Structure 1
Amino acid sequence: MSFEIAFGTLEIGLIYALVSLGVLISFRILDFPDLTADGSFPLGGAVCGVCLYLGVNPWLATLFGMLAGACAGVITAWLYVRLNIMQLLSSIIVMIALYSINLRILGLGPFLQHETPRMSGSPNLPLLDAETIFTPFINADYSNQYYLQPLIILAFVVICWSLLNSFLNTQQGLALRATGANARMAKAQGIATGKMVILGMAISNGLIALGGSLFVQTQGNADISIGVGTIVIGLAAVILGENLLSSKRIGLMTLAVILGSIVYRFFIALALGNETLQRIGIGTEDLNLITAILVTLALVLPKQLKKWKARRGANA
């Protein structure tokens, strides 16, 4: 594996580390089965992409993308808390709605620039000439791009990780964790569990959308299909991270999913670059299949290893 490929894999792993932190909040901390991620990831990318297309400051564009994802999380939580729609169903409703919304957002840029006569949806938006948060730091010949972009994204991940850990150890954060651990007991202690769910879902999908905002800036293109399988990738990183670094301490839990995301992307890169697999026809089009297999292995192998150790101990 060349340095360029390694840094590229690290870059994608760090972007999905933000997604994994969001998934950790919804699935592990809040115990909320949330599929909104498949819509909020491209939503962040679409909002950020349109802003960049219109010449908005890239830092503001990234912030707007993150806030859009937070709004999507609030809507999902509101459907559950206020309208009493099942958690999973609430997230599916928002995810489906966001597909059409994202198409409309992607078509908004050319319309506002008078490049199309009417407002219509679009599956993608090219950003090759748009200024991004990376532009001021990259050389004219792009010689430092392959390692500079991962470093900047790493800074985002470290800041988000630090802020999230700090928040989860505040009174509000502890109330959020208590809501996920036992909502009935938390409510009996005077915690507004509904508000905590809405807050947690906003943070979760805000982080996921931030990942989408950074993703489109690294790819030079905002596309509706980038959200496919986002939740599976996030869950894979969470599960893998928990097996790599098992801990009940919140700081180590969040660090584990970041490591899990990076390791997961390197597994994917090695699988796709394996000559033996290439000979039998495995290619990039099989990415989702490889993802499904890795998630299955991450779920099954730890349990099988525990059973094997228990049998070995019994036989000894």
Structure 2
Amino acid sequence: MLSDIAFYGAIETGLIYGLVAFGIYLSFRVLDFPDLTVDGSFPLGAAVAAMLILAGWNPWLATGAAIMAGMCAGAVTALLNVKLNILHLLASILTMIALYSINLRIMGRPNVALLSETTVLTPWYDLGLAFHLVPVTLFLIVVVVALLLLWRFMKSEVGLAMRATGANPRMARAQGIHTGAMVVLGVALSNGLVGLAGALFAQSQGAADVTMGVGVIVIGLASLIGGEAVLTPSTVLRALIACVLGAIIYRLAIAFALNADALGLQAQDLNLITAVLVTLAIVLPGFRNNIRARFTRDKA
């Protein structure tokens, strides 16, 4: 069984990775743009927020700057693809590699600590909530606000144009939509959300590290695919809710696996657990559909 601290810690981290899943939903599902930039924009958001907080900035302004930095990184990837005709996957890899050096430049060293600094969480500890409930409460509010804003955006004229770009670029261009601009905007927003997640993660963990983005794309995909396996994304709202559910379920599954003595798993088995969970998330929907089809056929 999980302790309260482990349980709420998994929820807290799951909510942060829910923001990553939002970003991956925008790039992978809406725009059909496989984007690996997130492995670099996640620590970029953490680095920018951490250094600005150390410089005396208000933590919310520092977090906003982290979002803008993530958007700039995403825009670079999209422009490499749109303007220079570099394959989207290669363009994102190039940006991700460049961001490793940029993040080192921003921080001046591989990691920085925020343990004694004022963060977005600091005022919430004075509200009388239990210590482990503070980040969960704040991050839940942030995720809900981000979800509602993203949902409203996807229903707007620009959002519909972006969805049309991902669904059928040729038809979208025939309707007068500037598909290149939609790709740049969509990938920028995607990485802005990932930058926000990185900034919150750094403030939650009390440190920013240049390697903290390794594997973020896999975690985001696991959250996205797992959430879609649990909640069929028949609408945009359901798809966004599925992203959050998938991220929380993923982190809880990791926590249960690592705390189950019978399994004998340790921290170094994290990548193995992730691979198994992603495989199950991919396979289970098809397995479920086969059972449903067989049941319908037998009933007929």
- Structure 1 length-normalised TM: 0.91
Partners of 1:68 and 1:240 lie apart in 2 by 29
In the other structure, the counterpart of 1:117 is none
1:257 paired to 2:257? no
Change (3 A) 1:309 1:225: same
In the other structure, the counterpart of 1:202 is 188
1:130 aligned to which of 104, 113, 117: 117
Partners of 2:107 and 2:259 lie apart in 1 by 33
Q: Secondary structure at the match of 2:272?
A: helix
Q: Which range moved further: 47-56 or 178-187?
A: 47-56
2:232 aligned to which of 214, 226, 246: 246
In the other structure, the counterpart of 1:167 is 153
Partners of 1:139 and 1:236 lie apart in 2 by 35
Q: 1:249 Cα shift?
A: 1.0
2:198 aligned to which of 204, 209, 212: 212
CA contact (8 A) 1:44 1:69 kept: yes
**Percent of residue pairs bearing the same amino acid type:** 52
Q: 1:314 Cα shift?
A: 5.0
Q: Which amino acid aligns with 2:77?
A: T
In the other structure, the counterpart of 2:279 is 296
Q: 1:224 Cα shift?
A: 1.2
1:67-146 alignment, distance < 5 Å: 67-107=68-108, 122-139=109-126, 144-146=130-132
Q: 1:135 Cα shift?
A: 0.8
In the other structure, the counterpart of 1:114 is none
Partners of 2:155 and 2:76 lie apart in 1 by 26
Partners of 1:305 and 1:168 lie apart in 2 by 29
Q: Which amino acid aligns with 1:157?
A: V
Q: 1:247 Cα shift?
A: 2.8
Q: How many residues matched?
A: 298
In the other structure, the counterpart of 1:7 is 8
Q: Secondary structure at the match of 1:27?
A: helix
1:35 paired to 2:36? yes
Partners of 1:159 and 1:314 lie apart in 2 by 43
Unaligned runs of 5+ in 2: none
Q: Secondary structure at the match of 1:180?
A: helix
1:158 paired to 2:144? yes
CA contact (8 A) 1:243 1:302 kept: yes
1:47 paired to 2:48? yes
1:89-109 Cα offsets, whole Å, 9 max, x none, are: 0000000111111111111xx
- Structure 2 length-normalised TM: 0.96
CA contact (8 A) 2:43 2:209 kept: yes
Q: Which amino acid aligns with 1:216?
A: A
